[in-house]
Amino acid sequence: MAGKSQKGRSRRGAQNSTNYSEQMVPSDATTKGSLSDVKHSNAGANGLLTQSESPGTKTEAKESEAATSVDRPKQGDLHLYPVSVKTLGGEKLELQLNPGDSVMDVRQFLLDAPETCYFTCYDLLLHMKDETVHHLEDHNEISEVADITTGNCSLEMVAASYDDRSIRAHVYRTRELLSLSTLHASLSTSLALQHEATHGTSSVDPVKTEVLELDGLGFMEDVAASLSNFLSSPSKEIRSVESIVFSSFNPPPSYRRLAGDLIYLDVITLEGNKYCITGTTKFFHVNSSTGDILDPRPIKANFESTTLIGLLQKISSKFKKAFREILERKASAHPFENVQSLLPPNSWLGLYPVPDHKRDAARAEEALTLSYGSDLLGMQRDWNEELQACRDFPHTTPQERILRDRALYKVTSDFVDAASNGAIGVISRCIPPINPTDPECFHMYVHNNIFYSFAVDADLEQLPKRHASVNNPKIEGSINSLKNTDENDGNSSCFKVSNGCISESDGSNPSELSGATGLPTETQLAESEQATYASANNDLKGTKAYQEADVPGLYNLAMAIIDYRGHRVIAQSVLPGILQGDKSESLIYGSVDNGKKIYWNEDFHSKVVKAAKTLHLKEHEVLDEAGNVFKLAGPVECKGIVGSDDRHYLLDLMRVTPRDANYNGPGSRFCVLRPELVTAFCQKAEAAEKTKGKSSVEEEHVAAPDLPNVADVNDLVEDKADPASASDSQFAAKVQKNETLQECGSTPTASSCQEIYFNPNVFTEFKLAGTPEEIAADEENVKKATQYLTDVVLPKFIQDLCTLEVSPMDGQTLTEALHAHGINIRYIGKVAEMTKHLPHLWDLCSSEVVVRSAKHIIKDVLRDTEDHDIGPAISHLFNCLFGNCQIVGAKGANSMQSKTQKKENSGKSSRGQSRWKSGASERKNQPSYMSINSESLWSDIQEFAKIKYQFEMPEDARARVKKVSVIRNLCQKVGVTIVAHKYELGAAAPFQTSDILNLQPVVKHSVPVCSEAKDLVETGKLQLAEGMLSEAYTLFSEAFSILQQVTGPMHREVANCCRYLAMVLYHAGDMAGAIIQQHKELIINERCLGLDHPDTAHSYGNMALFYHGLNQTELALRHMSRALLLLSLSSGPDHPDVAATFINVAMMYQDIGKMDTALRYLQEALKKNERLLGEEHIQTAVCYHALAIAFNCMGAYKLSHQHEKKTYDILVKQLGEEDSRTRDSQNWMKTFKMREIQMNAQKQKGQVLNAASAQKAVDILKANPDLMHAFQAAANSGGTTSSSNTSVKKSLNAAIASEVGAHPRGRGVDERAARAAAEVRKKAAARGLLIRPHGVPVQAVPPLTQLLNIINSGMTPDSSTNNEEMEVANTKVEDGNLSNVQETATEEKPKLDKEDQAPVGLGKGLSALDSKKQKMKQKAAA
């Protein structure tokens, strides 16, 4: 497979073996199931579940998956055949192999198996049934060599000879095996293991939960203090040897080379003995050297072994013991915690106190060589050839598509990794340019077969301070010329220069330019030619769009954008032949000089037209300068080039969507519409044609990061008219639509109604041919799309935000939500304006604007900062932003202006990387960053926000900003890592230089996704919505299996599959199975998205709810505590999701009888919702209903009735009296009233109540007078302010420990999950599919519950009423229906009887835990 060979056995390959050589194989290990995995990993895979997991659970999942493969031979089908392996150590292993596996896959299996993990140099022989023996080459597939389907095949590992390269790789692999740094333990795993060690059972320790509760309410108030609780200390290393280093005897003298010596190592064992070890072509042995002279003779005959670890085990007993411990530790971890993540996220927090930096000779050795991403031990990889070769793989059968997707994913990920390392070298000036005589802003670099060029931040040039305010006509001219000539911005210099075309561009006549503006030629060149941030972003999006269109014969380059130390570098794979001589005649399509001369080729054009259809681009005519007419199907400035490999490459795809007609002034050339919007608009238009007479079902849109083309298109206008007209079939309708949307998007058919195509060159300076009517129609099309964005999409998005359909938590999720709706970030100012009435949303938008504006200014300062000043500069800028920095004796703004003036006059300072040359003398006196103070920084931010985002920041913006959330967001965007301790954010200078730990590159890339798996997931959602659990399970398992093979387990899409699998199992009542899948999702989210990403927080919340379902409430509360900590970091304490989490926590406390704590959490949730959403929002009604249930459990029926009345009033106002939820609420009111009357009647009859117990309820309220007042006030007040119409799908019990809680609102696909849950119940009931009423809390019987029993003595005295009510509260939570409120125990009974039956279609395994759970429930109830 392309690209594997170079690193298969290389040093890096060995060094990162799990991550490098076929990273996806550990995933296969889970899917294809090598025995070693089963034996060692799976034991620990779900170690957290040992107390509740029956032995059958894991195998059941495997069996179910295997059954899937047999029953429906679809995309994910894997026919596995047992093959035994005879290892070098003489042991036998069983592997399950598929004929399509490559030999590299087998090697990876063996690299992961504990018995064979330290063998790196061996050949594989395949023994067949008929006694023939085949030698397996690394890059063969097994099926190419022999047919293993005949059975009775075995593999044999045979020791091969070492060479210089493989013996070094072996040493690196050995060091890696002896370290635990590759183990990424999740907090969830350690919590579960800790819980198991402490309890061994599922009992609840009230003392500990009490501590947790105080902790929970405490840290939400002081978010800054919670930073210190965020990172857990890394796993402690197990020492096995003092050191293993390359000896200073290296290299071996020539006469020893001839005897086979390759390498000498110095080893010090834990016993303190020093050994000099010789590595030869055959084995390692201890030689007799003691002093400074080499004595190559073996010291003892038996001190030799084919592996270094084998030898160390012979010479050190302590090593042998420690190595066993290391393997056991790795085997006890979840398999996903051992797997390397290909592109891990940057961490913005580092450990505090900062760990001591200790001597490590091995680490020092590896750092000696500056490789910047290139492979030192082999040839440089030809990235372009690898990528295009992978594109050319056959992809007709499902298995071929998997192999192709996998190869593409692997090569692209490796490219991004290498590109970001190389960019660091470029920016650090360690890699020389290939054109050193050109102006610095045009310097280009080639390293490791990757091409690098710089982009500039054109946005900063719009700041008035940069030009007008300095009253310098030269600079003003420069800015205007930038705006006027900015049509050239995007021609990334790489291609113009490489094609020898720079002379043809607008800089071709220097005298003309400088004459026009009075600027130096170099400045002009810089401004007209250099790629800008916007053009680079657009180019990446365009490249991705054409890659997804996947037109045969049309190729794109691999591309990544790297931001580091204030610079933006564009990295691309090298176009074949472009660096060898003059290749300008290879340009056959498009233009390099902005339409003056246009090239055209029929063959190329036909391919571009195919892609254009997918991208909704119109074939249209343009004129060149000479008046010739050309037919194009893309932007004029795109370039079609024939590489020296005869492939057709399409480059410079900055405008593959039409211009945004709202932004057509100077400087907005790259303001284009988002592809999601274009797709949505086209779908809407088509749907309108198809269903003219029909009123179509309202479509919900969810900001799903994993579904970029999801579009909230059809009938958004109808949505606006009737926001409450939702029905339970919405989820199904939505998924169905999204599926068809995606199909249409990828394969438009001629038979479909007339499609809409956009001309990308309207509203540009290019001359269009064609009739005026045609041009006007094209312009009208684009205007309609833009109008659709402002008139339909934006209001719908705002409505979704208000109703919590979409509930972004931080800047990243807000950006994803905007993009998924097709809204550009430049509209964020408008979004902020439209959400002023919701404080949490306004805060979120304004914080994002502040961060994005500050990012540009900080990066500009960093570009001008010397290497030794970077730490001080960042801490100073952070102090200006978050503290109150005044510069003594310097007028901040003026000095900033003079600095700017100097920079502008130098003509090139902010271009490219000339920071180290311009103005060096001034900086000797005082670094430029020192001239900035808080006032000047904030005024710059305000100006920038106004120009770029049309956002007027209020006067008190500095005071209102949520500091911790903004620090987090800014660190992530700039790549800064700070120390995780409590910062005094009220101080003038909260940051010290020592608080800045690191500055990392921030990378944007276009790593491809697997469309096969996405389709399966979409279909699975549909089945889930229909209530077909077994079918949904099958589809999600298939998608999981495919993704495991394509991307490996460490990918966001895999996490999605795990979440859905958890949901299906949860609905089927298999809590333990749900926890297994949820735990996988949690680990992947922590590793791929970050420890504090909102998705990770929701994963912890889901885990908590599942544990609660297994009656492990203390463990559940620990997970809830972590979820709250993470939410507080990303959104701050004021967010509806935090309130929803509080309700969940309250329900858990309620279930274990701690009513006082439950009431405090509910009060806090009510306060938050009233403050953030208004007194008449449905989420506020949720709180009142939860309080009504809580008071009902305490027997305070009068209070229950009052709170339910409040719920009812809100619902009547929001939904009307006829809505099912309103009627349910009415039923609850009647129930509470009836119980109150019943209780009074019992009193009159003379039934004696237990006065002491009754007093307890009163005491609780007396002990918390604030509770008493708050609840009475809430019950008596009748708020009138109406918040906007609310989505009826938000449950009344939204967060009462069930589906909506389990899949919290508004987090992308979780939203769908919640809605799907409603469908599942109804449809499943209709089909007779028995679904266990999940999460029935088991009541411990504390005094309060006894009180309830006595008060309700008309009911059964075993607290069954409490159970019933909570069950009713829990059963329908996900849809907000309080329906079918059957209050009597007799009506509830049949439900419980059904629990013993297994759900239809999911096999026996899924209900394997039933009996155990039932026993636990009975025990606790007793």
Tens of pLDDT, residues 821-857 = 999 999 999 999 999 999 999 999 999 999 999 999 9
Give the confidence band of 100 by pLDDT, cuts at 50, 70, 90.
confident
Q: Identify the pLDDT of residue 851.
A: 95
Find out whether the peptide bond into 510 is cis, omega within 30 degrees of 0: no
Give the confidence band of 1357 by pLDDT, cuts at 50, 70, 90.
very low
Contacting residues for 99 by C-beta, under 8 A, at least 6 apart: 79, 81, 141, 142, 143, 147, 148, 149
Taking residue 920's Cβ as centre, other Cβ atoms within 10 Å add up to 10
Q: Of the ranges 77-91, 448-462, 1103-1117, which is most confident? A: 1103-1117
Q: pLDDT tens for residues 901-930?
A: 434 433 333 333 343 344 444 445 678 888
Quote the CA–CA distance of 1123 and 1085 in Å, as a whole number.
13
% of the chain exceeding 70 in pLDDT: 68
Q: Residue range 707-736: average pLDDT?
A: 34
Contacting residues for 132 by C-beta, under 8 A, at least 6 apart: 146
Q: Residue range 1102-1124: average pLDDT?
A: 91
The secondary structure element, H or E, covering residue 350 is strand 349-350
Three-state SS string over 391-417 comes to HCCCCCCHHHHHHHHHHHHHHHHHHHH
Give the confidence band of 750 by pLDDT, cuts at 50, 70, 90.
very low
For residue 64, is pLDDT > 50?
no
For residue 889, is pLDDT > 90?
no
Quote the CA–CA distance of 128 and 145 in Å, as a whole number.
11
Residue 1086's identity, in one-letter code, is: E
CA distances (Å), origin 145, targets 97, 126, 402: 14, 9, 20
Residues in the chain: 1422
Quote the CA–CA distance of 1043 and 1016 in Å, as a whole number.
11
For residue 1244, is pLDDT > 90?
no
Question: What single DSSP character describes residue 848?
Answer: H
For residue 337, is pLDDT > 50?
yes
Taking residue 723's Cβ as centre, other Cβ atoms within 10 Å add up to 21
Q: Of 164, 158, 165, whose CA–CA distance to 119 is shortest?
A: 158
Q: Identify the pLDDT of residue 792.
A: 94
Q: Identify the pLDDT of residue 20.
A: 34
For residue 1076, is pLDDT > 60?
yes
- Alpha-carbon dihedral sign for residues 832, 838, 840, 843: positive
For residue 25, is pLDDT > 90?
no
3-state secondary structure of 77: coil
Place of tokens 């949860």: 1066
Which tokens go with 1140? Answer: 């929803």
Which tokens go with 340? Answer: 């390397």
For residue 1383, is pLDDT > 70?
no
Q: Residue range 136-141: average pLDDT?
A: 82
Q: Of 1316, 1326, 1321, 1324, whose CA–CA distance to 1289 is shortest?
A: 1316
Q: Identify the pLDDT of residue 115.
A: 85
Q: Identify the pLDDT of residue 1243.
A: 81
Q: Identify the pLDDT of residue 130.
A: 82
Q: Are the C-beta atoms of 598 and 591 separated by less than 8 Å?
A: yes
CA distances (Å), origin 1324, targets 591, 1073, 1327: 60, 20, 5
Mean pLDDT of the chain: 74
Q: Of the ranges 148-162, 256-270, 1395-1409, which is most confident? A: 256-270
Q: What region does 793 belong to: left with phi over 0, alpha with psi -120 to 50, or beta?
A: alpha
CA distances (Å), origin 991, targets 877, 977, 995: 9, 12, 6
Q: Identify the pLDDT of residue 507.
A: 32
Long-range contacts of 1019-1022 (CB under 8 A, 24+ apart): 1019/739, 1020/1060, 1021/731, 1021/735, 1021/1060, 1021/1312, 1021/1316, 1022/732, 1022/735, 1022/736, 1022/739
Residue of 396 and 1367 predicted with greater confidence: 396
Taking residue 841's Cβ as centre, other Cβ atoms within 10 Å add up to 23
Give the confidence band of 1358 by pLDDT, cuts at 50, 70, 90.
very low
Q: Residue range 1363-1372: average pLDDT?
A: 36
- Alpha-carbon dihedral sign for residues 206, 1298, 1205, 1380: negative
Q: Are the C-beta atoms of 832 and 957 separated by less than 8 Å?
A: no
Q: Identify the pLDDT of residue 879.
A: 93
Q: Where are the alpha helices (DSSP H) in 864-961?
A: 870-882, 892-906, 920-925, 934-949, 957-960
Quote the CA–CA distance of 830 and 836 in Å, as a whole number.
10
- What distance lies between CA 950 and its chain's CA centroid? 29
For residue 1293, is pLDDT > 80?
no
Look at 261-270, 701-710, 1240-1249 and tell me which has the smallest mean pLDDT. 701-710
Q: Identify the pLDDT of residue 1381.
A: 31
Adjacent-strand bridge partners of 649 = 555, 641
Quote the CA–CA distance of 71 and 1401 in Å, as a whole number.
13
Q: Identify the pLDDT of residue 995.
A: 93
Q: Where are the alpha helices (DSSP H) in 1068-1154?
A: 1071-1088, 1094-1109, 1113-1131, 1136-1151
Q: Residue range 1036-1062: average pLDDT?
A: 92
Q: Of 1376, 1374, 1306, 1304, whose CA–CA distance to 1334 is shortest?
A: 1374
Q: pLDDT tens for residues 371-407?
A: 777 766 566 889 999 999 999 999 898 888 988 999 9
Give the confidence band of 74 by pLDDT, cuts at 50, 70, 90.
very low
Q: Residue range 473-496: average pLDDT?
A: 33
Contacting residues for 1269 by C-beta, under 8 A, at least 6 apart: none
Q: Identify the pLDDT of residue 182.
A: 78
Place of tokens 């800008």: 532
Q: Residue range 992-1012: average pLDDT?
A: 91
Contacting residues for 871 by C-beta, under 8 A, at least 6 apart: 993, 996
Q: Are the C-beta atoms of 546 and 611 separated by less than 8 Å?
A: yes
Q: Are the C-beta atoms of 1030 and 1405 separated by less than 8 Å?
A: no
Q: pLDDT tens for residues 1258-1273?
A: 666 666 655 555 555 5
- Alpha-carbon dihedral sign for residues 593, 597, 600, 605: positive
Q: Identify the pLDDT of residue 893.
A: 41
The secondary structure element, H or E, covering residue 687 is helix 675-690
For residue 957, is pLDDT > 60?
yes
Which tokens go with 568? Answer: 């933006």
